[in-house]
Structure formats: structure tokens, C-alpha cells
Amino acid sequence: MGATAVSVGALGGGTKAIGQAKRPIPATPIKIAAVSFLTGAAAAPFGIPGDNTFKMCTDVINKEGGILGRKIELASKDEAGGVDAQVKLARKLILEDKVDVDLGYISSASCLAVLPLADESGGLIVAYDCGTHELMEGPKSPFEVPKFKLGFKSSAHLGIDNIGLALFIKKYYPNIKKVAGINQDYAWGRDSWLIFETAMKKLMPNVQVVKTLWPPLGNTDFTAHISALMGAEPDIVHSSLWGGDAVTFTKQALGMGFFKKIRMAYSRGEPYPQEVGKDYPEEQIICCAGTHYFLFTPPDKASATLQKWFVAEYRKRYGKYPSYPCYHAYQALYAYKNAVEKAAKAAGGWPTIDEIAKAMTGLTFPSPSGPITIREDHSAIEDVLVGFSKMTPKYPFPILDPKRMEIFPAAQVNAPVGMRTVDWINSWK
């Protein structure tokens, strides 16, 4: 252990002083890398809001005197360029730039490729937005946790969205007959559909799947997919499309009269009404990847005040309402802050990244959308919010109809530690 800790220190750039009773707090700033899509289709709806939030929170934390008096030095990096580029970048960040922590990744593909590098290269990596449940799950349940000693996921995985959708559909449309799916052709899309389909089979056994389409990420022409879906005549179409794809799909579908016939159920559709604007169709089922919605007020006091401040502050700085990537960014940065402070208490000085990792495990802290808990499997769990899009005079884009918002508590939508989500769903009574 000691040996690895030394090498961790050496590789991870943490302080080498192991074993001393009292450890000094370095005067140097904390190096934090934030990796999001800064270019490409996912930049506007995801990367930029996420990165903005990282900047905003860093700024606030530094104004308050930093973490244990150390200022944060934030380096925003671009997630574009494909999985391979990300592997190389993460390596560089950990081994050469020696960042204290790598907060990032929106695409599940990036996460699947990068998180294993945490233990491999001995750097702390916190996945802040990507969704795939496979990231933290083992090959078969029960699996041993944590999967990665130094790899974390500070937001809940896609299980909550798709289970939430299934529960929501069961509640509002108990007697639909046909569903279809259009999901991007990689881990994110494939896994989202898998969970949704499994949950539907369990909750509404006699609903039949009439079509599943797999457009590639960054597809520009959905016309063929749209008419293929319309041809299959489902009642509801499940979709985990995100980023530019979601916007493009919606616009083209509008043009082809898609929404006149079919209702969409977006597993993470929350940012798009704001992106598309007033044209965005009403009565679509939209999930918020948690309870990340600017009109949602968390029950507990601390979170509620945070929410009020967060929405106002973000609106003030960037003229928009925070979308769920913003909340995810907040969670990642504050997970690190809280973990460091907790570990420092125990260690009496600046902690090693092993100690930070230990502190982050089982950590609970308030966030704008409610308290967040990071479990022993190094993955956070959250409640999930689902609703209908509805145009109101108050906003220039459809919001979630306040009267028909459903919140499913974490326990109802997250598999227990060490159990694969799919197995858990199948074990439902």
C-alpha cells in the first residue's frame, strides 16, 4: 500500500509526504482539468453550459478562499476528437500535466475509455455527466465494488432516466400497445434502450416493440429514420438522442409532421426546449437525468437555497437557465471539494489522492437539485424527475407542466450496490 501511495503521489502530482503526522498545505494552486465538448454539435446544449458552470463555481470557490486556502487553477479541455483522442489527452493530463483531478466527460464512450486510466495511470478521475450504467457495473451481479479505486461518477447513471420513463408511461398511458426506439449507435444509446426495454417488459408486458433505430452519433439527416418510425406507427418513441442530434431530429421531425402522430419520450430531453425554443412540441415526455430542473425546488432547506442561488447566478452570468449538465458540473466540482476537506480533517494536512478517494466514497453533500450521495460503488444516486412539455406565457420556450411533474425517489430507480441494473429490474415483483 505504502509503495503504491508513493507512486500515486509521484504520478498523480499529490504531495509525497506519506506517514508524517502533520502535513503542510502546499502554497501552489490546485490543478483541475475540466473536459467537456467545447466544439461540435454537443457544445451548445452540453459542453458550454457544463464548462460555464465549472468556471462559475471555480470562481466562486476561489473568491471564498479556495479549498483549504489553495486556489483552483481550472483548465478547460475539449472532449471532441473521438475516444482515442480522449485516451491520449487523459494520459497527458495525468502523467505530464500532473493535474490533481480530471473532472469531465459527457459522452459515455469517453467515460468507458478514460475511467480505467484512473487506476492504470494513478490519477483521480471524476466522470461528471456521461450516463452509461456499465461504467461502474461488473460483468455479473453480485460484483465487487469499487470497480476503479480512483475512478468516480458524481451523477447517477442512465438507469434512473429510463426506469423513470417506464414508470411514468405506465402511470399516464397504461394501455398503449406499441413502442419504438431511436438511440445513437454506441454505449449510451444502446444501454439507454436496453434499460428502457427491460423495464417496459417488466412493467407493461404486453407492449410490443415495433422498431429500433441506431443512427450514428452526429448524424445530420434523420429524414429516413423519421419516416421509418412513422411507418412503424408506434404510440410512443423512446429516445436518448442528445446534443445536436436531439435538436436536428426534433427540427426535421417537426417538418415531417412527426409529432402530429407520435409522442416522444426523451430520456434526457431537459435542455432542448430551451435550445429549440417556442417551436418545440408540447405534450412530449421529458426526463431530467435526475431532478435537475430550474423550476424544481428540492425539499430540504440547504439544497433549496443553493438552487435559488444557482439558477440566479447562472442566469446572471450567462443569460440562460441552467440545464442538467450545469447541475452535473456543480456536483463533480463540489464532490471533489467536500472529499478533500473531509480527507484533510482525517489526515491533518493536505491528503493524498488515495485518501481523497477514500473520503469521496460514501460522501453526501447538498446540491442545487437535492442532496447527492456517492455510494461504495463510487457512483452517485439521485431521484429522477419526469414531466410533459407545455408552453406557458411566462417563458419563451415550453417548460415542464408543473401540475404533471413526477418525482421517483432514488431507491425506486437505482439498483442496490453490487447488483447489475438489468438483473435488479428483472428481479422486480
Q: What angle do CA 61, 330, 245 make, to 5 degrees?
A: 140
Q: Using CB under 8 A as the criterion, what x/- string covers residues 222-251 for binding other proteins?
A: -xxx-xx-xx------------x--xx--x
For other proteins, the closer of residues 218 and 299 by Cβ is 218
- Residue 30's SS3 state is strand
The window from 79-87, 355-363, 370-378, 389-397 that contacts other proteins (CB under 8 A) reads 79-87
| Interface segment toward other proteins; rule CB under 8 A; list 20-28, 85-93, 164-172, 333-341 | 85-93
> Who contacts 238 (Cβ-Cβ below 8 Å, separation ≥6)?
162, 165, 179, 180, 181, 182, 183, 192, 193, 196, 265, 267
Q: Residue 121, interface with other proteins (CB under 8 A)?
A: yes
Using the rule CB under 8 A, is 210 a contact of other proteins? no
Number of residues that bind other proteins (CB under 8 A): 62
- CB of 18: closest distance to other proteins in angstroms? 17
Residue type, 123: G
Residue whose C-alpha cell reads 405506465 in the numeric block: 170
C-beta of 4 vs 297, nearer to other proteins: 4
427 contacts other proteins (rule: CB under 8 A): no
The answer to the question of residue 38 lying near other proteins (CB under 8 A) is yes
257: contact with other proteins by CB under 8 A: yes
Residues recorded for the chain: 429
Q: Does 397 bind other proteins (CB under 8 A)?
A: no
Residue span binding other proteins (CB under 8 A) among the ranges 90-98, 171-179, 265-273, 348-356:
90-98
Q: Which of residues 164-203 bind other proteins (CB under 8 A)?
A: 185-187, 190
Q: What is the DSSP letter of 42?
A: T
50 contacts other proteins (rule: CB under 8 A): no
Region binding other proteins by CB under 8 A among candidate stretches 20-28, 37-45, 234-242, 324-332: 37-45
Cell 426506439 found at: 181
**Alpha-helical segments (H) within 348-385:** 353-360
Contact (CB, 8 A) for 238 and 179: yes
Stretch that binds other proteins, among 16-24, 161-169, 202-210, 212-220 (CB under 8 A): 212-220
CB 385, min distance to other proteins, A: 27
Smallest gap from Cβ 342 to other proteins, in A, equals 26
Per CB under 8 A, 221 contacts other proteins: yes
Q: How far apart are CA 68 and CA 326, in angstroms?
A: 24
User: Among positive and negative, which fits the CA dihedral 389, 267, 184, 157?
Assistant: positive
Sign of CA dihedral 252, 254, 258, 262: positive
What are the Cα distances from residue 308, in Å, to 21, 57, 59, 65, 334?
41, 15, 18, 22, 17
384 belongs to the binding site for other proteins (CB under 8 A): no
H-helix or E-strand containing 217?
A: none
Q: With 0-12 CB in 10 A as exposed, 13-18 as middle and 19+ as buried, what is 79? A: buried
φ, ψ of residue 141 in degrees (nearest 5): -85, 150
Least distance (Å) between residue 98 CB and other proteins: 10
Residues that bind other proteins (CB under 8 A): 7, 11, 38-41, 43-44, 78, 80-85, 87-89, 91-92, 95-96, 108-109, 112-113, 116-117, 119-122, 185-187, 190, 211-214, 216-218, 220-221, 223-225, 227-228, 230-231, 244, 247-248, 251-252, 255-257, 260, 279
